[in-house]
Amino acid sequence: MNTITSGFFRQCAVAFAMLVALTVILGVAYPTVVWAASRIGSNSAEGSQVTDAKGCNAGSTLIGVDPKAPAGTPDSYLHARVLGSADDPMATGDPSASAASNQGPNSETLAHNITARRALIGEREGVAPSAVPADAVTGSGSGLDPQISPEYAAIQIPRIARNSGKSQAAVREIVDAHTSGRQFGFLGQQRVNVLEVNLALGHTVCK
């Protein structure tokens, strides 16, 4: 009887010790390590937030939002690409409209929108519609890309310089500083981060 009783309590003690050990390891240590790792670096679990010069939350490094100049003020912003899903030909930067448009190469709606976009962007930037690059008039797969092509950024530089009072050389230097090369040296194309350029130009979201 004593052997059975002692064996029972010994098993209970072992089970309790395992419960405590696994609780500490899996319930405390592991979640703490995962939590800490998720907050290392700029692309953290907090949404990769970016703050402007005044400390206000200006957006995310991973989500592109097209800025709008206040009414009656010169437009000195670098603009993002359009959303592929919106019915409005010039819709930009609305994360809620990021779904695919399902408009293929034979879509008359897509052809109409692209023609309208080329005309509007060409007029805004003072260039011929044929000079407007493809990414300016087409949405990305996600509709949320924060980058544009260097070609699209280049045609915006004269307008930004004219409306901001900066020289074209100064604006081009800012754009170049926020231009990333191909990933791993061979994947994708060069790209310009719209939000980072606008913050470097001195734009702020603080009131």
The confidence band for 99, taking pLDDT boundaries of 50, 70 and 90, is: low
Residues 19 and 60 in one domain: no
Let me know the angle formed at the C-alpha of 180 by 99 and 57, rounded to the nearest 5 degrees.
60
Amino acid at 21: A
Q: What is the mean pLDDT of residues 15-26?
A: 93
Looking at the structure, tell me whether residues 94 and 151 fall in a common domain.
yes
What's the structural domain count of the chain?
A: 2
Structural domain includes residue 206: no
Contact 73, 80 (CB under 8 A): no
Same domain, 30 and 53: no
- Environment class of 196 (CB within 10 Å of its CB; exposed 0-12, middle 13-18, buried 19+): buried
pLDDT of 83 reads 66
Same domain, 36 and 53: no
The answer on 6 and 56 residing in a single domain is no
- CB count, 10 Å around CB of 3? 7
Is the residue at 177 inside a domain? yes
Host domain of residue 172: 49-201
User: Is the same domain home to 62 and 101?
Assistant: yes
pTM of the model: 0.70
Is 207 within a domain? no
Q: In what order do the strands lie in the sheet with 191-193?
A: 147-148, 191-193, 179-180
User: Which residues, listed in sequence order, are joined to residue 148 by a DSSP beta bridge?
Assistant: 192
pLDDT, mean of residues 106-115 = 84
Place of tokens 């190469």: 105
Same domain for 110 and 151? yes
Task: Report the distance separating Cα 50 and Cα 202, nearest Å.
Answer: 14
List the beta bridge partners of residue 50.
59
* 115, 140: one domain: yes
- Per-residue pLDDT tens over the stretch 139-154: 776 667 788 999 999 9
The span from the CA of 92 to the CA of 144, in Å, is 9
Q: Please tell me the distance from the alpha carbon of residue 161 to that of residue 144, in angstroms, as a whole number.
A: 26
Contact indicator for 140, 85 with CB cutoff of 8 Å: no
Residues 175 and 74 in one domain: yes
User: How large a percentage of the chain has pLDDT more than 90?
Assistant: 35
144 Cβ neighbours under 8 A, 6+ residues apart: 62, 63, 64, 95, 98
Q: Are residue 60 and residue 154 in the same domain, yes or no? A: yes
More confident call, 113 vs 60: 113
The answer on 178 and 195 residing in a single domain is yes
> Tell me, what's the pLDDT at 97?
53
Dihedral of the CA atoms 33, 39, 44, 48 (nearest 10)? 160
Q: Which residue type does 168 have?
A: Q
Verify that 137 and 191 share a domain, yes or no: yes
